[in-house]
Structure 1
Amino acid sequence: MASALMVCIPAVTAEPDWAAPLRKYVSSSAYLEDIGRAIAGLERLIAPGCTRELKGMQRRELRIVAEPVFFGALPIPQGGQWREQMAIDRCGETVLHNVLVSGIEGDSPHLTLLLPGSSKADGKLQYDASEAAFAIAGARAGRKCREGARRIVDTRFVRYLGRSAEAAPAERLWREVWTVRLCDSEVRVQIDFAPDGKGSFTFRADLPQSSP
C-alpha cells in the first residue's frame, strides 16, 4: 500500500541502532493498515462523496521528531516520535495527509492526525494557528458555524520568506495558505510563521494577498 520507505534521519556519523527495526516496523502491513484507517476516517469527513475506501496510499516522507526506542527483540517501538506524510488518491486528485506517531512503553504507538496538506508547522503550532484561521475565515464569510461544521481541509506551503530558506530550520520564516471549510463554503487564509526568539514559532493570519 505504501511505496519505498524514505526515512529522514538527523545527520549522524553512522546509522543509529533504531533505524533498521523502525524500517521493519513501519513497513509492516498491520502498521500501514492502522495509518490507512486513520486517514480514511478523516477523508470521510472532508470528502464523503469520494472516499468509500482509501485508494493509492503512498508514503512521501517519514521524518523523525524524537529518536524511536526499541527494547531488546520487541518489534514495536516503546518511545520516540515521527511524522508520516502519505499521499492518497481522492477522486483522481492526489492529496496529502500527515500523521504524528508516538511510541508508548508497554502499548502500541499512538496516532495523531495532523492537518492535511503540505504545512511545515508542527502539531502544536497547527493547533495554535487554527483558531486564528477560523476567526479570519468566519469574518470573511460573514457567518458563524458550529464547531462540528468547520474544518481546515487543506494546507499549502507557499514559500520561505526573505532569505530564510538558507537558514537553520529554527530560524526560518515561511508562508502557507490554509483552506477553511465553514458549513458549506470555503475560505482561504494566509498564515505567516516566524521564530519567536524563544525556540518556537509565532504566526500571523490574514486573507491571502494577490501574490502570496
Structure 2
Amino acid sequence: MIYLIAGVAEVNRAPFDLPEAEQELTAGYLTEYSGLRWSLYQMAEYINMITVSSIASTLFLGGWSFFGLTDHIPVLSIVIFAIKVAFFLFLFIWLRATLPRIRYDRLMRFGWQALLPLSVLNILITAFAVALHWSWVVSGVGGLLVIVIMLFVIRRQGFTDGTHFEEKSSRGEQVLPTSVRLAHYENPTLPAVNSEPVAQEAPDSTAVRV
C-alpha cells in the first residue's frame, strides 16, 4: 500500500498531480505544445505508470509466475505478467476518476507524518522477520497492522482538523465536518398581489375608429 501511494505520487497522477494539473495550468507544455510534441509528454506519463506497475507486479505479485503454470507453458508468463501490469494500470485510472486533488499542506503532512514513519516501521518489521527467520505470515500480519495504524491515524487526523464526514444512515442525516460552513439564504418576502379581477371599462360609443 505504501509503495502504491508513493508510486502514484511519483508519476504525478491524481490526487497527487499538483505540479502539472491540467485544469489549472496557464503556461507550459499543455498550452505551448500541440500534436505530436504534446502527445510525447502524455506518453511519458503513461510509460512511467507502466514502469511503476511492472515493479509492483514483480515485487509483490510474483511477476511472470503463477502457481507454477509458467514452467510448462513459457509463452503464458508474458500473458500473466501483462495481466498483472494491466491490473495496476486499472488502479491508476480508477484513482484518477475517483479521488479529488488534495492541497499542498495536506500532501506534505501525509507524506512526512504518515507515510515516512509507517515505511520505516515496515522496514523494521521486515528486517526482524528476515533476521529471525520468521515465516512470511508474521511479515504479512505486520504489514496489515501497519495499514490499520495508517488508517487510524488518517481518521484521527480528520477528526482533529475538522475534515471528517459522517453519514447516519439510520436517520438519513449527514453530519458535515466542522470546517464546512454552509450559507443559508432566506426567501425574500414578496408584496401581496391583489387577486381580484380588474373591471374593464365599456368602450366609448362616441370614439371614432380610424
Q: TM-score over 0.5 for the alignment?
A: no
* Structure 1 or 2: more strand by fraction: 1
* Structure 1 or 2: more helix by fraction: 2
Rg larger in structure = 2
